[in-house]
Amino acid sequence: MAIHDRNEDRAMPKPLASHLASRDDSEHPILEVDLVDEFTRRIDFDHRSLPITRSAYDARMAEPNDISTLTEESRDLLDDAISLRRSLHEWPELGNHLPRTRDEVLAALEGLPLGLTLHETTSGIVAALEGDHPGPTMLLRGDMDALPMPEDTGVEFSSRVENAMHACGHDTHTAMLAGAARLLTAHKSRLHGRVLFMFQPGEEGHNGAGHMIDEGLFDVGPLSDGSASPITGAFAIHTTSSLPTGFISTRRGPLMASSDVISIVLTGKGGHASEPFRTLDPVPAACEIVQALQSMMTRRINTFNPGVLTITQINAGTTTNVIPESAHIKGTIRAISETTRRMIHDGVRRVAEGIASAHGLEVEVELRDGYDVTVNDDDYAGRAADITKELIGADRFIELPTPVMGAEDFGYVLNHVPGAMVFLGATPLDKNPAHAAPNHSNRVFYDEACMTTGIALYGAMALRHLSPA
Ligand SMILES: [Zn+2]
Ligand SMILES: [Zn+2]
């Protein structure tokens, strides 16, 4: 395999000045700003050298567990990853049906010795790479869908689809996973078992992982020699602009929150605004409910097992002199444990029904479960941290002190298989991630050089999981 000394930042598109000036870290922050500031102060970004030298690479070639060459090898795969990522970025697709994206992924995998399964209920693709030796199966996941929003990054490969943008980095995930399939194919002779590449649609609220599981994702069957090969590990990477390029963060236990939807409809009796005593006004009761829900959160929910309840929408009335018949309250519930999640659900119902009844109003409370809590397996997250430090250096790994209150459907995979998810930084090293537009922003910018680390880490996790020692 050719090894050369290209810089991490070549082929990086230049962000526009408007992007650099933007600051919107209120939406979907992955890290606390203070934390980012703290560790960006620790790092000298200007003179980073690669952790592995060419002579070290040569010397370690023979070791069976060796992952020291993977970063160099992944750098050779970066051009292909960038071109796939840009193509996906230009033509983003939403939801569970991503025909163009699927075709692109299949083209990128062409010629590799993979067993392909095309899912029927969604555009999910499962590609299986059998190693030369028997062993268990390791699942690597990348999601492929975009978000329904306009793009304002100004990059030359900006979205050509109206109201669709890869603003959560899933285009980079897909490109890295395809790169990892190529990387691991080159190490097929060292694999004791099978790698399952899960290309999933519909992460952004469409339960793509759940649909793939329902359609038999885990029914992997034996290897071609007839030996059993159950899935014993799972790993996913999520790109984030909240960390510098090539940095990795994760934690043991809960990593991301559950995400459920609140919908409360209060119904009273409408009438003239000048004669409220002849009506049953739902508006003051709706206001009381919003306030009481916040008191419920602080008084009933364990400080050390927290949750978030945010009312995001209140709709009632049409004009200034009419008391409306009904009021509609909507919002979201986030929690990092099933216990707190259910306590909040019970609390919302109790508060809404109690206040409605106190005012003689009818109430309908609907609490719809969204994604589960995404919980990293303790051992597996520890192993991922160790492998990451070995691969990229301990000073580029950050152990997150707290979970992130966003949600992820990779949690459904982790409900069945021990594994871990990590965040991969993608803000250029000369920029402060605390000031970067966050994931889901119309101006979010991902430094494509981060994909070298992502490809190498996917490869390292699979190689170590499927090694005999
Ligand atoms: Zn997202
Ligand atoms: Zn995402």
Residue of 417, 436, 418, 411 lying closest to 426 (CA atoms):
436
Which ligand has the nearest atom to the CA of 236?
2
**Is the pLDDT reported for residue 133 higher than 90?**
yes
380 is catalytic: no
**How far apart are the C-alpha atoms of 140 and 236, rounded to whole Å?**
6
Which listed residue (93, 203, 371, 412) is catalytic? 371
Is the Cβ–Cβ distance between 314 and 328 less than 8 Å? yes
Compute the chain's Rg from CA coordinates: 24
**How far apart are the C-alpha atoms of 244 and 124, rounded to whole Å?**
30
Which ligand has the nearest atom to the CA of 374?
2
**Is the pLDDT reported for residue 265 higher than 50?**
yes
Tell me what the mean pLDDT of segment 164-191 comes to.
Answer: 98
Q: How confident is the model at residue 126 (pLDDT cuts 50, 70, 90)?
A: very high
The owner of tokens 């190490």 is 187
412 is catalytic: no
| Mean per-residue pLDDT over the chain, rounded | 89
Q: 245 C-alpha vs ligand 2 centroid, how far in Å?
A: 17
* Residue partners of 226: CB distance under 8 A and separation at least 6: none
pLDDT value of position 431: 95
> For helices 170-185 and 78-90, what crossing angle results, to 10°?
150
Q: Which domains does the chain have, with CATH numbers?
A: 17-256+373-465 (3.40.630.10), 261-368 (3.30.70.360)
Tell me what the mean pLDDT of segment 271-297 comes to.
Answer: 98
pLDDT value of position 330: 98
The owner of tokens 């995001």 is 312
Q: How confident is the model at residue 65 (pLDDT cuts 50, 70, 90)?
A: confident
Which ligand has the nearest atom to the CA of 209?
2
**Is the pLDDT reported for residue 113 higher than 90?**
yes
Q: How confident is the model at residue 19 (pLDDT cuts 50, 70, 90)?
A: very low
Indicate the range of 56-60, 136-140, 186-190 predicted with least confidence.
56-60
The owner of tokens 């900006």 is 158
Q: 92 C-alpha vs ligand 2 centroid, how far in Å?
A: 14
**How far apart are the C-alpha atoms of 9 and 3, rounded to whole Å?**
17
**Is the pLDDT reported for residue 27 higher than 60?**
no
